[in-house]
Amino acid sequence: MSNVSYSMDKIYSHKKIEDIIYSEWEKRGYFKPEINPAGRPYSIILPPPNANGNLHFGHAMFTIEDILIRYHRMKGFAALWLPGTDHAGFETQFVFEKHLANEGKSRFDYDRETLYQMIWDFVQKNREGMESQLRKLGFSLDWSRMKFTLDPDIISIVYKTFKKMYDTGLVYRAKRLVNYCTYDGTSFSDLEVVMKDTAGILYEISYSIKGGGEIIVATSRPETMYGDAAVMVHPEDLRYKNLIDKSVLIPLTDREIPIVADEFVDKEFGTGAVKVTPLHNFDDWEVGQRHELSGIQVIGFDGKMQNTGVVDGLFTKEAREKTIELLEEKGFLRGKKGYDTTRRTCYKCRNVLEPLPLEQWFIKVKPLAEKAIDAVKKGKIKITPRNFESVYYQWLENLRDWNISRQIVWGIRIPAWFCEKCSNWTITEGKTPEKCSKCDSKSLRQDPDTFDTWFSSGQWPFATLLSQSSSNSKFKIQNSKLESSSDFEKFYPTSVMETAYDILKSWVTRMVMFGIYLTGDVPFRQVLFHGIVNDPYGKKMSKSKGNVVNPLELIDRYGADSVRFALIYGNATGNDQSLSYTKLEGARKFTNKLWNIARFINMKQETLNSKSEIRNNLTIEQLKNETINKLDKEWVGKIGELVPEITRYLDSYQFNLAAERLYEFIWHEFADKYIENVKGRIDKDSFLVLSSLFLVQLKLLHPFMPFVTEEINEQLSLEKKMLIISDWPES
């Protein structure tokens, strides 16, 4: 922190003061809720950034959370903003594999333990950089409570959750069709699937009817016909009614399959007859369950064809071309036409995902989703902006059972052991069992899969708070409630979950489901969504496009205060925005304007020797009563109106309106009008009003621009204590 001086530098230099001020805040423990021990609890859990690289500019939107925390801290709350990072299972392993590829290596070159340790070391280096970036933005996080999703105490809670859900029947193991990326070698839930509109081809293929005749089947995937279980028609389609229950022969293999009827078929689609391949199509899987059809798995987990006797060993694209060639050659191909379709693709590598049958751990989501929906409908959780409520409801109402198994090394390994003798699964809270829970055999092997990242991060609000106490070792789940004495008791449910709207489905809904199930209460009282920060041309930032903006570069150029203010100013809560260099420059000029106002007051302090005349404990009403000059009294009244206005905006999450009002008032009213008037008549009385009113405005602005306001406060000695822990103004 700079030394108190009558003489302020002519130009404000953010580079000189920001790191010093932040270090002072942190050293004095001002980020901890204990600075207001008697205050009402107010808590926000930082959405944990992925620990696989530097922060992107979207993370700068955490400014909203810092505004809320600083505001409530100044209002006397015991305000906790708890930081953490997410191991981000698949995403981190994907990033690390790209790192290996640059070195001419792959994940297959290492055993499980070695690869895990290599990724661990990689992540630890990145975490240090991320924490530094969060500090650079001025975020007043309580670093003493920093958590990581792979901390032993967090893992312990995740294990207990899995065991409880298994014991109560919410977790089950089943062989079902899953979204599988043959390139990355893992399954995904529906959330990791990107639906891509694609121009395809609809092929018409002749299937010979046993006993004579043919039926023309329409399909966009002829390469999977080797795994067909049936041909299907609509029960009321007069063209095929006499063919139902007859058998056909699959072209090129002559394997016999039945013709079945099901109302799922669209009579207008293609020829009105379709093939049923239950092990390679999600809709066909459901049909197969209804008609007790199984089929054959003809695409392997390596993406190559198998069990066909015709195109084995070929990748699916090559197999399709070869199959079409053979069908044409043998006279089975009767036609083809353009066909617009939608393909499921991997959200990272963008390859087409294959529906493949795989035994996995699933969560029954319906009972959890119903309670999560009820929590919002009954007002236990309020969502801002309100328009996101419909998205929340729609997602939960249509949620399918959740596949939580991932075939990767990086993450929390599933605590389940398979008995080689009786095929029973023994589930523990993490400890390796000595014997099978069913037959007492000791021939056990652990499931090699890890949990889906969202399974652990979905427990983040209560897991982080529980893990802050040594009593976590005694942590128990009883009757769907957690028992522990820790931060959990004081700060749960948390006050606000503030995050980007694009993870409403993947994270917010799951936190609500887990929170209610495990604690008997919601994880937060409010959900507040911010929008996406796009590049200056309105395009989404991505490394592949080369348009990612590093927030540190802008902080270095404009200062953290300017970056924070530019993100809030002119952008309504929940709306997307484009990065604006014009707003950044405007925010920088505003910072300089504040500095110049402070320099004017500083010079008048020296002229009037008025430091002793500044009285910091005066309320607006007291100041108004002690003000002599009529114009001064009028301006005290204006500030008296400004305080509740800004307070109202912050309480209603209208941060943009608060920022815009402060900007306009400080620059175009206080500076342009009041200071210009007072310049020619300043005395000790008017100086008291001038300095006192400026202090109020600094306090109102502090949550938005903490560094420059803190430095001005120190330079002018307007308060004996730092601005970060000063009282919020009262009108």
Q: Is the pLDDT of residue 481 over 60?
A: no
Distance between CA atoms of residues 569 and 445, nearest Å: 57
How sure is the predictor about 544, in pLDDT bands with cuts at 50, 70 and 90?
A: low
Residues 66-103 pLDDT 10s: 999 999 999 999 999 999 999 999 999 999 999 999 99
432 burial level (CB within 10 Å; 0-12, 13-18, 19+): exposed
C-beta neighbour count of 400 within 10 angstroms:
12
Could you tell me the residue ranges of all domains in the chain?
A: 31-163+452-530, 187-346, 560-725
- Angle at which helices 706-716 and 684-701 pack, to 10 degrees? 150
Q: What pLDDT score does 636 carry? A: 94
Q: Is the pLDDT of residue 320 over 80?
A: yes
As a whole number, mean pLDDT of residues 570-575 equals 94
- 139-155 tens-digit pLDDT: 999 999 999 999 999 99
How many helices (H) and strands (E) would you count in the chain?
Answer: 22, 27
State how far the Cα of 162 lies from the Cα of 363, in Å rounded to an integer.
10
Architecture of domain 187-346: Alpha-Beta Complex (3.90)
Look up the CATH architecture of domain 560-725.
Orthogonal Bundle (1.10)
Residue 4 has pLDDT above 50, yes or no: no
Decide if pLDDT at 608 tops 90. no
Backbone angles phi, psi at 510, to 5 degrees: -75, -35
Per residue in 50-66, pLDDT (tens digit) is 988 788 888 999 999 99
> With pLDDT > 70 as the criterion, what percentage of the chain qualifies?
95
Phi, psi of 356 (to 5 degrees): -130, 145
Is pLDDT at 472 greater than 80 in this prediction? Answer: no
pLDDT at 52: 84
What's the pLDDT score for residue 468?
78
118, with CB counted inside 10 A (0-12, 13-18, 19+), is: middle
Q: How far apart are CA 218 and CA 237, in angstroms?
A: 15
For the cut 90, the answer to whether the pLDDT of residue 479 exceeds it is no
Write out pLDDT tens, residues 343-387.
Answer: 999 999 999 999 999 999 999 999 999 999 999 999 999 999 999
480 torsion bin: left (phi>0), alpha (psi -120 to 50), beta (else) = left
Thinking of the domain 31-163+452-530, which architecture would CATH place it in?
3-Layer(aba) Sandwich (3.40)
State the Cα–Cα distance between residues 711 and 15, nearest whole angstrom: 12
pLDDT at 616 (0 to 100): 62
pLDDT at 528 over 70: yes
The pLDDT value recorded for residue 483 is 43
Q: What is the pLDDT of residue 482?
A: 44
Nearest Cα to Cα of residue 217 among 292, 258, 274: 274
User: pLDDT band at residue 135, thresholds of 50, 70 and 90?
Assistant: very high
How distant, in Å, are the alpha carbons of 64, 461, 582, 662, 666 from that of 139?
Answer: 10, 19, 24, 21, 24
The single-letter DSSP state of residue 431 is: S
Kind plus residue range of the DSSP H or E element containing 340:
strand 333-346
Residue 8 or residue 162, greater confidence: 162
Note the pLDDT of residue 614: 57
Predicted confidence at residue 543, as pLDDT, reads 67
Model confidence at 623, pLDDT cuts 50, 70, 90, reads confident
pLDDT at 480 > cutoff 80: no
Residue 278 and residue 532: Cα distance in Å, rounded?
A: 39
Residue 146 class from Cβ within 10 Å (0-12 exposed, 13-18 middle, 19+ buried)?
middle
pLDDT (tens digit per residue) in 221-269 = 999 999 999 999 999 999 999 999 999 999 999 999 999 999 999 999 9
Indicate the residue type of 336. K
Answer whether 368's CB lies under 8 Å from 359's CB: no
Averaged pLDDT of the chain:
93
Task: Report residue 32 as tokens.
Answer: 């901890």
| Span of 1-10, 90-99, 329-338 with lowest mean pLDDT | 1-10
Q: What pLDDT sits at residue 471? A: 43
Percentage of the chain modeled with pLDDT above 90: 84
